[in-house]
Amino acid sequence: MLGQLAEAGAVITADEADADVIVINTCGFLEASRNEAHEAIAQAVAQKQTGRCKRVVVAGCLVQRDGEALLKAVKGIDALVGVHQRDSIVPATLVQLKLPPKRGKAGGGAGRRTQPDLYLGEYHPHIALDTARLRLTPAHYAYLRISEGCDQKCTFCTIPSIRGPMHCKPIDVVLAEARELIADGVLELIAGTLLLFTAPDRIRQLAILVTQPELTEDPNDFIATHILRGADSLTDHVVLFTAFYLLAHGIVKVVLVAALLRNKLWAYPWMVVVLAIFILYQFYQLAVTPSAGLVALTLFDILIVVLTWHEYRRHRTRLGQKDGTA
């Protein structure tokens, strides 16, 4: 949503005191989250009533869960945007700002419209794309959504009623979004953390959902069949080991990259040494249990080592030239 608003010309600010429109993206799963959302909405409406902002837009899961009942719970909301109408965030936020105020009305944009704009909508099976994002996470990581919804309608859980049944992005879309994040400077996706909380059976189900369209067209599709074989070979031990390995790999790289960004020269050889240890271990694993994913990770680490060593030599040369002219 932030990306769409920025593309539409909105200036994003983290300080609500500077905002003409306050957009609140809500969670509707936990009671504590719902209460927190109600408080945030009430505070934003209070700002509007004092003329400090012109419009309050509420989006997200709580909107999809409660719908128009949210308008009665917290009066003064100007627009509701449900999760299935996420792409309506631009008109919900900006369109009414372009309308002239009615005569005789002043302060807080109260004269623009009396009826809130509703962008609720029902569930539809087409999962929204997450391209052209304006991320709030630090530059060294990002979350990549591969699916949403759930088929298990547990009595204690509202996810199916909010997000609908389980549905996944096509694998080519996931890959395209991952490439975009990497090109945007992302060093690690949070795959390791997700694996800690994902059972092998769920991964197999996801693999079947992702590969089904390709296998329907071509039962011998190379990528799809290898994904299924890899998912079928997963055990609890393998998933747990992979999760911890990815986390350790990511943590080491983030720490070293942070040092590099601060121009700590010692970080360059340390990064080469640590990655070399990872690469040696990955070669050992490849000899024991070959894996396409491990091959890709190893090649990526080798590329990082080459680039890091090249950068280290360039920095040393530059520092030597400075010392020579001092």
pLDDT tens figures, 56-81: 999 999 999 998 999 999 999 999 99
Cβ contact 207:228 at 8 Å:
yes
Q: What is the helix (H) or strand (E) element at residue 168, kind and residue range? A: strand 167-168
pTM over 0.75: no
Helix (DSSP H) and strand (DSSP E) numbers for the chain = 13, 8
pLDDT at position 316 is: 75
pLDDT tens digits in sequence order for the chain, 326 residues long: 888 888 888 888 878 888 889 999 998 888 888 899 999 999 999 999 998 889 999 999 999 999 899 999 999 999 999 888 888 899 999 876 655 544 444 444 444 456 888 988 776 666 777 777 776 665 556 778 888 888 888 888 888 888 888 888 887 888 788 777 766 655 555 555 565 566 667 777 777 887 777 777 787 877 778 777 777 766 666 666 666 666 666 666 666 666 655 667 777 788 788 888 888 888 888 888 777 767 877 887 888 788 778 777 877 776 666 555 55
Q: SS3 for 189?
A: strand
User: In this structure, what token pair is assigned to residue 115?
Assistant: 């009826």
pLDDT at position 105 is: 41
Tell me the pLDDT of the chain averaged across its residues.
Answer: 77
pLDDT at position 249 is: 65
Would the CA dihedral through 24, 27, 28, 32 be positive or negative? negative
Cβ contact 48:83 at 8 Å:
no
pLDDT at position 145 is: 82
Q: Where are the beta strands (DSSP E) in 9-160?
A: 21-26, 55-60, 79-81, 117-119, 141-142, 147-148
d(Cα 44, Cα 21) in Å, to the nearest integer? 9
pLDDT at position 101 is: 46
d(Cα 291, Cα 299) in Å, to the nearest integer? 12
- Which CATH number does 2-119 carry? 3.40.50.12160
d(Cα 225, Cα 207) in Å, to the nearest integer? 10
User: In this structure, what token pair is assigned to residue 2?
Assistant: 């932030």
**Residue keyed to tokens 């009826």:** 115
Residues of the chain with CATH 3.40.50.12160: 2-119
d(Cα 300, Cα 279) in Å, to the nearest integer? 10
pLDDT at position 238 is: 64
pLDDT at position 70 is: 92
Q: Which amino acid is at 241?
A: F
Q: Distances in Å between the alpha carbon of 7 and those of 60, 217, 274? A: 20, 37, 40
pLDDT at position 192 is: 57
pLDDT at position 261 is: 56
User: In this structure, what token pair is assigned to residue 183?
Assistant: 């090109």
pLDDT at position 175 is: 79
Q: Work out the angle at residue 174's Cα, subtended by the Cα atoms of residues 173 and 177, and round it to the nearest 5 degrees.
A: 85
User: In this structure, what token pair is assigned to residue 40?
Assistant: 């945030």
Terminal Cα-to-Cα distance of the chain (whole angstroms): 52
Q: SS3 for 28?
A: coil
Task: Find, among 32, 34, 10, the residue nearest to 22 by Cα.
Answer: 10
